[in-house]
Amino acid sequence: MTVLMSVAALSARMNSGARTVVLDVRWALGDPHGHDHYLTAHIPGAVYADMDTELAAHGLPAEGRHPLPAEADFAASVRRWGINAQDTVVVYDDAGSAAAARAWWLLGYAGLPEIYLLDGGLAAWRAASLPLSAGEESALPGEAVVRFGSKGTIDADGAASWEGILLDARAGERYRGEVEPMDPRAGHIPGAVSAPTSENLTAEKTFLPAEQLRARFTALGVEPDTAVAVYCGSGVTAAHQIAALEIAGFKAALYPGSWSAWSNQPGRPVETGANDDMLKGMTEVKAYAANSATSGFAPSTIKRREPGAHDVEISIEFCGLCHSDVHSIRSEWGPAKYPLVPGHEIVGIVSRVGDAVEGFSVGQRVGVGCLVDSCRECDSCLEGFEQYCEGGNVGTYGVADRRNGGGITQGGYSQAIVVDENYVLRIPEGMDPAAAAPLLCAGVTTYSPLSYLDVQEGDKVGVVGLGGLGHMSVKIAKALGATVTVFTTSPDKEVAAKDLGADAVVVSTDAAQMEAVKGSLNAILDTVAAVHDINAYLRTLDRDGALIQLGLPATDMPPVDPGLLIRKRLAYGGSVIGGIAETQEMLDFCAEHGIVSDIEMVTAADLDNAYDRMVAGDVRYRFVLDNSTI
């Protein structure tokens, strides 16, 4: 099934003179000036298609905001647009194809065979510096026959009794009923699964590659033989979802009335919150949550799902405080979804297991790190690198829990958590559980690149920065048999670094000390998240050395000098956390070598103070929350 045409392909077709009908569907909710935008600039030869008068009819509220046009009316529009039976038709808009998809769907529904969405729309056309025209364009009347029914549709009764998967294409906030900007009731059709169309697109508003879309829909429960139906607010963006499903190789039916019709029909039931099926038997647990970027923490309650067949319920004993928690809670990495309970260095005791769980039993001590799910199908997942899941891994807090109803995941500053057994780790016997918690993020973040670089006995490893990640880097590199040099800007950290096992300490602001280690190291882990100059550290690497960036600065860094890389065949790379199997391997390695984190325990009431101290760098080396104080 071909759904998309690239701007390059359309431009080539137009240049070759191949007959192509181009439709401009400039329309967006709240912007009545689509036609004016079209008159100002459009793809040469494009005819304007009007959402309100040509792509939809109008009727009673109970029929929805954009009912399908009558067949005869649509046939008249198709004639006006100049479409003949076998024409290649390309439709576009300037809104990530959300409006164009309605025209794409209707033309397919009318039985026309060669209909394409222009991937990336007008923005991609402009970005490619292709020519534009202005003013009205018209076509010779077309002769295509319109006969509705070539794609599946359902009505409200069909949606009410749908046996397969019913996807809700609106934003998650509208699905959950937290906001409702235009329809009379807030929430979703009972049993529907949240699947916002915005997640079908890249940052450039082109569709994600087919395999990523397949992973996304598979994670929502769509299989090749699943009956899928889609609705949205008024049947427009649902067509976008159907296009994305077709790109992924799935067929789906449209509910044209969508939420605007459903919510206007008295007696139709409404659900709010995350998917109700998933919430049955939910347990309420105490937690500490932030309500805004500046609120700090307050006692709260959150719901945990009833363990499913593959789930493990964990009574949390300890949770490490990671610098990512600070960035997330304070919306420093983009707007967070509040209320938010952070925490992804979780250690606790299994309290219940699902019927199909094989790897864990009640009473066992376990851990949960930064991931609680991933697509499980992409190459990265299949190779055990779930942190690089091509469909996007599901973080332990702050993201949509796709497989479990689409609610926002909540982390370890809470009494309990329920996690699929594939994402649960075994804490080895005899390990101090509180001091083991930071291994689940800081430990694996440093172990993974050392393992990837195959650091071993006799290698010389540099560690830049001596915070949470830095101190774990020193311990793990030493246990691997390396000689470790710590780079720090504070001369007073020398004793602390040596206490952790460092063989040498170099004050990076001292040119003579830096010169003395020039060309001597095999690998460097750079844990510093502040903006700094990498070149000074690259100079300390020997031939074939590698510098791996672990800290993520908020703004651009000074450029890397390629001459340094070239002259000694150096590599400059990055790495984030680790896969599930690798995390278990790291825990077992740390147990064998007696490694845990150096920690300071805090109570829940002291979280705000601990955050301030973390930001000030006043912690040796990790705070761990005692969850019994929640």
- The residues of the shown chain that bind Zn ion, judged by CB under 5 A, are 322, 324, 374-375, 378, 381, 389, 391, 441
Least Å from the CB of residue 395 to Zn ion = 10
Q: Distance between CA 230 and CA 98 in Å, rounded?
A: 14
Least Å from the CB of residue 389 to Zn ion = 3
Q: Distance between CA 394 and CA 386 in Å, rounded?
A: 9
Structure tokens at 30: 């709240």
How many DSSP H helices and E strands does the chain contain?
22, 26
Q: Which is nearer to Zn ion, 63 or 373 (CB)?
A: 373
Q: Which is nearer to Zn ion, 391 or 551 (CB)?
A: 391
Q: Which is nearer to Zn ion, 127 or 382 (CB)?
A: 382
Q: Which is nearer to Zn ion, 77 or 387 (CB)?
A: 387
Q: Which is nearer to Zn ion, 20 or 374 (CB)?
A: 374
Q: Amino acid identity, residue 251? A: K
Q: What is the number of alpha carbons within 13 Å of residue 57 lying toward its C-beta?
A: 14
Least Å from the CB of residue 234 to Zn ion = 33
Q: Distance between CA 457 and CA 511 in Å, rounded?
A: 29
Q: Distance between CA 457 and CA 262 in Å, rounded?
A: 67
Q: Answer whether 141's CB lies under 8 Å from 77's CB.
A: no
Least Å from the CB of residue 26 to Zn ion = 36
Least Å from the CB of residue 296 to Zn ion = 20
478's CB contacts (< 8 A; 6+ apart) are: 484, 501, 502
Q: What phi, psi does 628 have (nearest 5°)?
A: -70, -10
Structure tokens at 7: 């701007």
Chain CA centroid to CA 155, Å = 32
Least Å from the CB of residue 625 to Zn ion = 13
216's CB contacts (< 8 A; 6+ apart) are: 195, 199, 200, 208, 248, 375, 391, 392, 402
289: three-class secondary structure by DSSP = strand
Least Å from the CB of residue 392 to Zn ion = 8
Q: Which is nearer to Zn ion, 389 or 476 (CB)?
A: 389
Least Å from the CB of residue 378 to Zn ion = 3
Least Å from the CB of residue 622 to Zn ion = 10
CA distances from 483 to 220, 267, 271, 521 (A): 47, 72, 60, 9
Q: Answer whether 11's CB lies under 8 Å from 124's CB.
A: no
Q: Please, which residues bridge with residue 601 across strands?
A: 624
Q: Which is nearer to Zn ion, 324 or 409 (CB)?
A: 324
Structure tokens at 129: 């510096």
Q: Which is nearer to Zn ion, 391 or 579 (CB)?
A: 391
Structure tokens at 112: 């026309």
Least Å from the CB of residue 258 to Zn ion = 30
Q: Please, which residues bridge with residue 76 across strands?
A: none
Q: Which is nearer to Zn ion, 260 or 374 (CB)?
A: 374
Q: Which is nearer to Zn ion, 302 or 321 (CB)?
A: 321
CA trace torsion 551, 557, 563, 569 (10° rounding): 10
